[in-house]
Amino acid sequence: MKRITILTTLVVAMFAVSTSFAQTTVKTTKKTTVVKKTTVSSAKPSAATLEEGKQLLAKNDCLSCHKVDVKLVGPAYKDVAKKYPATAANYDLLSKKVIAGGSGVWGEVPMAPHPSVPPADVKKMIQYILSLK
Ligand code: HEC
C-alpha cells in the first residue's frame, strides 16, 4: 500500500514537472517568433537628393576644408567616396562622424563637430559625397 502511494506521488510529480517544462518551452518559442522587422532603406538616392546634398555642402562650412578632387584640411571627397561604398550603413556612419566630429581616419587633424546641422541635411551631403566616383 505504502509503495503504491510513493509511486503515485512520483508519477504525479513527474507529470507536474513535465507539464511545467512544456509550458516554458511554449513560452520561449513564442518569444523567438517575434522577429523585429528592420527596414532596409534603399541605398540609391535620387538625382534631386544628390543635387540638394551638393548645395548643402556649399551652404555649410564643408567646402572651407574639403574639395571634391584635392586634399585640403580634410580629405578630398572623391577619396572619401573611394574608401566608403555608397551603402545605407556608410551613410549612417559618416553622418554621425560629421555631426559629432572626429579624427584619426585620414590623419591627425580633427574635423570640427556640426551639431546644429539637421541630420537629414547631413545625410544628403554624405549621399552626394559617396556618389562621387
Ligand atoms: C575645420 C575643417 C573641416 C570642416 C569645416 C569640415 N570638415 Fe570634414 N573633415 C575634416 C578633417 C580634418 C577630416 C579627417 C578626419 C579624420 O581623419 O578622421 C574630415 C573628414 C570628413 C569625412 C570623412 C570621415 C571619415 O571618418 O572618413 C567626411 C564624410 C566629411 N569630413 C564631411 C564633411 C562635411 C559634410 C562637412 C560640412 C558639414 C565637413 N566635413 C566640414 C575637416 C573638416
Measured from the Cα of 64, ligand 1's closest atom is 5
Which residue among 52, 65, 103 is best mutated to probe the pocket of ligand 1, counting the most ligand atoms within 8 A of its Cβ?
65
pLDDT in tens, the chain (133 residues): 566 555 555 555 554 544 444 444 444 444 544 444 444 455 589 999 999 999 999 999 999 999 999 999 999 999 999 999 999 999 999 999 999 999 999 999 999 999 999 999 999 999 999 999 8
CA-nearest of 80, 82, 106 to 95 is 80
Q: Where are the beta strands (DSSP E) in 1-133?
A: none
Q: What is the DSSP letter of 115?
A: T
47-130 homologous superfamily? Cytochrome c-like domain (1.10.760.10)
SS3 98: helix
Give, for ligand 1, the residue of 67, 87, 96, 111 to mutate: max count of ligand atoms closer than 8 Å to Cβ.
Answer: 111
99 and 64 Cβ atoms separated by less than 8 Å: no
- pTM of the predicted structure, to 2 decimals: 0.76
